[in-house]
Amino acid sequence: MMRDTATPPPDGPALRADPLADAAIGAILGPSMADGPDLALIALVNRELARWDSNASLDGWRAGADLPPHVAAALEGYVAAARALPAWADPAKIARAEQSFVDLSMASCTLLFCASLPQCYVVPDLAAVLHVAGQLEQHTDYRVRSTAAMIFPVMMRGGLRAGGGGGVAQALKVRLIHATIRHLILRGEPGAHGPARGLPALPALPALPAQGPGMHQALYAHGWDPARLGLPCNQEELAYTLLTFGYVFLQGLRRLGIGLPAADEEAYLHTWNVLGHLLGIERGLMPDTMDGARALFEAIQSRNRTARRPDPRPALARALVGNLERYIPPRLLKPFPLLLTRYLCGKTAARALGLDGAVGLAPRMAFALAMGVLRAIDAIGRRFAPGFSLSRLGTRILGYHFTVQLLMDQTRPLKLPDALLGQVGDVVRSWHDDPRAPRWVNAAERRFTGRAAGPVTKG
């Protein structure tokens, strides 16, 4: 029987969090926060996280000498326990996924912005946490750029496997951030609560006046009802988010007619599952196949269809799409990010996100004609050249504008350590001509992106 979000099962993943990271944050901030968040301790933790600038920096890591002993012990214990890849991690599959990411290049960013991120907002309680964590509909760049700051270090060559990579370090930072969010919203340690676990249920926490303008104060003041909503950033929501960057990304490629071979899809899912392990997600919530991923993704969405009042999802989605439209110069094409998001996410998700409103006839006809013509030409062209794809060209052109103007703007660089930021820049600059495309297709791409032949440069 389908459950409503108002009645989570007493021992389901919505009532399970991340014992390792939660214990570390609990040891640092204390089991209860009745007097409000200790911003000084949170600042100390953030300072230490900034020192995790590569995977190698985690080897034998020791906290700063000026840290309170209980903070140092908690962070050192966390790093030692969390940094290792799982025994089932397959280096060959990870390397294969890294190559797929490089091959897809700028098309990857189009799928990130128009499929993965919008689907993140579909689950109401997850959207509610994103909403309160800094009023993200007013600071959309923060969410987009923070996500890219994790995806690039993970998917670049050696991101999870090499000491000079940064995927493991970034994952461990994000995992502690999730634990801090849970601790602030619940005003103390989340644990695993409910009669089925022999523990008392957490009481409903009323909303409070914010003690200040910052994100931490907003999270603490927000209020939460675990019995009705489950835990914030719980196992089910973490697993769902992981699926949006693995399964939804791959499904989007399929919908565009540029899907990867089955072995590459499984390698991509495997790599994201390795990341999921580093993020503290339970192995049973990380499917290995596209069929399994689709089943879990649809099951989580079906269990979480009851919208909150007020519903934060339309504002988040509209802000994301509106932000993308800024980087599409021709007026006729500005609705294309919205139309592409609706196409990739489907009618049900678009309706939940409030993206199903009217769009001008001319843009709709242009988009429908473009999608239909591209798919038809691709089907014919692949009979003569297996790598031929105008759909791939279109997503690369959109991805170029998003990547270069949104992510690589030197006036507001990604929040990454300098070495990692340099690696990301090198990767993006290497995304120039499509090696699988004919010369005339690459010439057309350069025309629509306004760049010369050769590496991408910020213009």
Tens digit of each residue's pLDDT (9 = 90 or more) over 74-114 = 999 999 999 999 999 999 999 999 999 888 877 788 888 88
Does 319 reside within a domain?
Answer: no
Q: Looking at the domain assignment, is residue 340 inside a domain? A: no
Residue 134 domain flag: no
pLDDT under 50: residue ranges of the chain: 1-6, 135-137, 192-199, 455-459
d(CA 33, CA 234): 20
CA 440 vs CA 176, 255, 298, 399, 430: distances in Å: 48, 25, 41, 19, 19
Q: Give the residue among 288, 246, 287, 286 at the shortest CA–CA distance from 266.
A: 288
Helix, coil or strand: residue 205: strand
The gap between the terminal CA atoms of the chain, to the nearest Å, is: 55
DSSP state of 115: I
> Which pLDDT score, from 0 to 100, does residue 196 have?
40
Say if 432 falls within a structural domain.
no
Domain span at residue 292 reads: 13-105+169-303
**pLDDT value of position 423:** 75
Q: Is residue 115 part of a domain?
A: no
Q: Does 69 map to a domain?
A: yes
Q: Note whether residue 403 is domain-resident.
A: no
Which pLDDT does position 167 carry in this prediction?
Answer: 94
What are the residues facing 199 on neighbouring strands?
Answer: 194
53 part of a folded domain:
yes
At 373 the pLDDT is 65
How many Cβ atoms are within 10 Å of 459's Cβ, its own excluded?
9
The domain tally of the chain equals 1
Distance CA 336, CA 333 (A): 5
What's the CA gap between 233 and 53, in Å, rounded? 25
